[in-house]
């Protein structure tokens, strides 16, 4: 290793993740990130696609992404839905193609804390964690907030940028002859 960079290691890595957000995905993403960091990589560009999954694993990935000591750029080139939105929000730089979509979880209808506590205290904890992250990262209009209280909220690329979900519109375009790693479902 020279100057903290493994011989032949690129400064920037390009990869893809597609699949459910679960413990196996969190482990594969963690392994890929630590391997890159330990080899002196300075930035990762990750094409990210998921319909959602487990709350705890998404929050873990969110915290992993936001604490990485290297630059991470996530790209949405299709759809990021449900709890995967939380994981996506962990990256400081989030790019979406102009025709990609996002689905932000709805707020449970008629689900008061008292009802949920008697039914499942885990649901209350998960709801609070999700809401805390969404409120700290998104700027939704009153109309969007009202809609989200009764249904899943779908956002276009332009709406996602306006709400702060994505930081810009662009494309995942690795340089020619760039090797690409894959961390998605086996």
Would you state the pLDDT for residue 109? 45
Would you state the pLDDT for residue 131? 83
pTM of the predicted protein model? 0.84
Would you state the pLDDT for residue 113? 58
Provide the 8-state DSSP code for 83: T
pLDDT of the chain along its 186 residues, tens only? 444 545 666 799 999 999 999 999 999 999 999 999 999 999 999 999 999 999 999 999 999 999 999 999 999 999 999 999 999 999 999 999 999 999 998 755 445 555 555 556 777 778 888 888 988 899 988 888 777 877 888 999 999 999 999 999 999 999 998 888 888 777
Query: Per DSSP, which regions of the chain are E strands?
Result: 12-18, 43-49, 71-76, 79-81, 93-96, 101-104, 153-156, 168-169, 180-182
Provide the 8-state DSSP code for 174: P
Task: Please give the domain boundaries of the chain with CATH numbers for all domains.
Answer: 12-104+152-171 (3.90.226.10)
């Amino acid at each position: 290793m020279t100057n903290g960079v493994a011989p032949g290691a690129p400064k920037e890595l390009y990869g893809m993740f597609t699949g459910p957000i679960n413990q196996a995905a969190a482990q594969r993403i963690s392994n890929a990130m630590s391997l890159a960091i330990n080899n002196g990589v300075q930035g990762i560009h990750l094409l990210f696609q998921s319909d959602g999954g487990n709350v705890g694993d998404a929050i873990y990935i969110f915290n992993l992404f936001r604490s990485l000591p290297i630059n991470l750029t996530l790209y949405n080139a299709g759809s990021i839905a449900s709890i995967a939105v939380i994981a996506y929000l962990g990256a400081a730089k989030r790019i979406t193609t102009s025709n990609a979509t996002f689905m932000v979880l709805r707020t449970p209808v008629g689900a008061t804390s008292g009802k949920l506590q008697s039914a499942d205290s885990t649901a209350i904890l998960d709801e609070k964690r999700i809401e805390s992250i969404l409120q700290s990262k998104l700027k939704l209009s009153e109309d969007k907030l009202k809609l989200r209280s009764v249904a899943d909220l779908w956002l276009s690329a332009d709406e996602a940028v306006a709400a702060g979900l994505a930081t810009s519109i662009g494309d995942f375009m690795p340089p020619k002859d760039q090797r690409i790693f894959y961390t998605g479902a086996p």
